[in-house]
């Protein structure tokens, strides 16, 4: 896809991977609506902050309506990035945290994607990027709930691409390894450090996938740091 003058929604845009994706898209001439609970304070004429908690269906509905008004009823790119993890043994995981992870990481993708698909189908053009994780590829001790949600993201992605490719809509699932973000603030076992992937690494990979020719689809991408150190 030629990204010039295209429109994009990026969820979880206030920090980490989401903010890096917003900045990368803006550099390519994309008009971006950044959805998040807090303002990323990005100063750019082509950037629009839309406050939304993707775990709440009504907030997604409202954010999408506002975004369509901003973009004249078009959306070419949806990056489902918003997500969180709570780490504990399964029997020690609270009901509230279990639901919070599924509401954000899984239901949020459902709410956002079901709004974008009809618009992309009418345009005969679109690309949906879902951010999973290596936690969606293998089980991780004391991350049962998080792994469950990221496995679900991969399942959604692998089914959805078969549903919509006839409409010239691409779906790609990105599975990053450890990324140096605030994500690890919630972990007592791992501290973020410079040996991890950086948000820009993930954003650059997403740009590469978005700019692929129309005749083929990248279904899934696994990204790993070369020599990660955990401490």
Catalytic residues: 146
Q: What is the DSSP string of 22-77?
A: HHHHHHTT-EEEEEESS------TTEEEEE--TTSHHHHHHHHHHHHHHTTT---E
Q: Name the residue among 66, 69, 210, 50 with its Cα closest to residue 126.
A: 210
**Greatest extent of the chain over all pairs of C-alpha atoms, in Å:** 49
CA distance 167 to 184: 38
What's phi and psi for 173, nearest 5 deg? -105, 125
CA distance 95 to 6: 41
CA distance 131 to 102: 14
């Amino acid at each position: 896809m030629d990204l010039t003058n295209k429109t994009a929604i990026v969820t979880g845009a206030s920090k980490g991977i989401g903010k890096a994706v917003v900045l990368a898209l803006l550099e390519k001439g994309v008009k971006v609506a950044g959805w998040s609970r807090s303002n990323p304070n990005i100063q750019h004429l082509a950037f629009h902050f839309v406050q939304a908690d993707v775990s709440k269906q009504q907030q997604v509905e409202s954010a999408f309506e506002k975004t369509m008004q901003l973009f004249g009823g078009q959306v070419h790119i949806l990056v489902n990035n918003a997500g969180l993890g709570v780490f504990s043994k399964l029997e020690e995981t609270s009901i509230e945290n279990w639901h919070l992870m599924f509401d954000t990481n899984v239901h949020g993708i459902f709410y956002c994607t079901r709004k974008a698909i009809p618009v992309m189908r009418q345009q005969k053009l679109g690309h949906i990027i879902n951010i999973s994780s290596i936690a969606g590829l293998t089980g991780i001790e004391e991350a049962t709930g998080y792994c469950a949600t990221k496995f679900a993201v991969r399942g959604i992605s692998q089914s959805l691409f078969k549903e919509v490719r006839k409409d010239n809509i691409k779906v790609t699932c990105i599975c990053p390894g450890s990324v140096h973000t605030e994500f690890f603030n919630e972990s007592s076992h791992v501290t973020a450090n410079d040996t991890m992937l950086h948000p820009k690494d993930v954003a650059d990979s997403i740009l590469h996938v978005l700019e692929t020719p129309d005749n083929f689809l990248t279904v899934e991408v696994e990204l790993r740091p070369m020599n990660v150190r955990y401490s």
